Amino acid sequence: MADIKICFDLARNIDFHTQSLQHSKEKAVSGKTSGLIELGETVTWEAIHFGIKQRLTSKITEYDAPNYFVDEMVSGVFKSFRHEHHFQKEGDYTIIRDKFSFESPLGLLGKIANKIFLKRYMINLLKTRNEFLKKEAEKLTKN
């Protein structure tokens, strides 16, 4: 059981994002680098994935608190990247649904990489982050 506003705020909290993905050494290096990101703001993330340091800049392009927000890649390794965050209150529970779409670069080679490992890697990254969010949101809701 977790409050919808707590879930929404945790999902857009730069500091929380960094904590939830410590294993990839993810950190905000420019744009909005701390606190709650808002509509129109950007953040550049630096992280290590597949043993390679990478940067990705995303922008909040849609926002309807506490129900929905979207971040989209402005620059980075992907050809395109869009992450929709949906929040819905159901009784005492908050249901979080992610709609995540991306296109890999490199044409056919990118499509092969998606099938072999990249799609699974991205799903596991979202699951890890959402499990961390669930635990923190439930803890904060109880207080």
For residue 138, give its domain range. 4-142
What is the per-residue pLDDT across 71-129, written as a single tens digit (0 to 9) for each?
Answer: 999 999 999 999 999 999 999 899 999 999 999 888 898 889 888 899 999 999 999 99
Question: Which CATH number covers residue 77?
Answer: 3.30.530.20
What is the per-residue pLDDT across 5-53, written as a single tens digit (0 to 9) for each?
Answer: 999 999 999 999 999 988 888 999 999 999 999 999 999 999 998 888 9
Can you give the C-alpha Rg of the chain in angstroms?
15
Structural domains of the chain, count: 1
The pTM of this model reads: 0.91
